Amino acid sequence: MKKLWVYETSIGPIGIAEDGKGITNTFIAEERTAKLMEEMVREKTHLIEKAVMQLEEYLAGVRREFDLPLHLQGTEFQKKVWQALCSIPYGETRSYQQIAAMVGNEKACRAVGMANNRNPVMILVPCHRVIGKNGKLVGYAGGLDMKEALLRLESENHG
């Protein structure tokens, strides 16, 4: 059974869940995620507290990488995409097409977009670093304002 705790952060309430093997979910805790939250036990754990600490350090601009065990559920393709996302350096972006090439199929841009959309651990697996080929910000579970804020945070603290 997954354990969940919701924390108030500088970007709003974030739910963090783990299953004893690793972090399984990070998400904006709001009405549309209420069903997901109902399926979990409300309990603060050491791993969740460690994740919150690292997330707060990231949001304060002092952490660039996360050191947390993740236990992500998805298709093999989704897992390949999420792994590719983790290789995007802090403060940099890649296009959907570049990620598609990284996973071995340059024409899989839409599938990469869907895998991004299904990323269960926003910020920890940095799907916010993926942008359109033309440099435009497109799609983000937290909304484009949050995506822009995360990219700005990274660009200001990069270097």
pLDDT band of residue 159 (cuts 50, 70, 90) is low
- pLDDT surpasses 90 at 126: yes
- What is the per-residue pLDDT for 51? 97
Provide the pLDDT for residue 88: 96
Highest mean predicted confidence (pLDDT) among 1-10, 73-82, 102-111, 137-146: 73-82
7 Cβ partners below 8 Å, 6+ apart? Answer: 13, 14, 16, 52, 55
Query: 127 an active-site residue?
Result: yes
Inter-CA distances, 65 with 3, 87, 89, 91, 95, Å: 23, 10, 9, 11, 20
The model's pLDDT over 58-81, given as tens digits with 9 standing for 90+, comes to 999 999 999 999 999 999 999 999
DSSP 33: G
% pLDDT > 70, the chain:
97
Average pLDDT estimate for 86-93: 95
Judged against a pLDDT cut of 70, whether residue 111 lies above it is answered with yes
Q: Give the pLDDT confidence score for residue 17 in this predicted structure.
A: 95
Residue 7 main-chain phi, psi, to 5 deg: -120, 145
- pTM comes to 0.90
Q: Which CATH number fits domain 76-156: 3.10.110.10, 1.10.10.10, 3.40.50.300, 3.40.50.2000?
A: 1.10.10.10
Q: What are the sequence ranges of the domains in the chain?
A: 3-59, 76-156
Measured CA distances, 62 to 82, 111, 126, 154 (Å): 23, 33, 16, 10
Predicted confidence (pLDDT) per residue in 136-155, tens digit: 888 777 778 888 999 999 99
Give residue 10's pLDDT. 86
Do 90 and 154 form a contact (C-beta atoms < 8 A)? yes
Active-site position among 16, 127, 150, 151: 127
pLDDT (tens digit per residue) in 13-54: 899 999 999 999 998 877 666 777 788 889 999 999 999 999
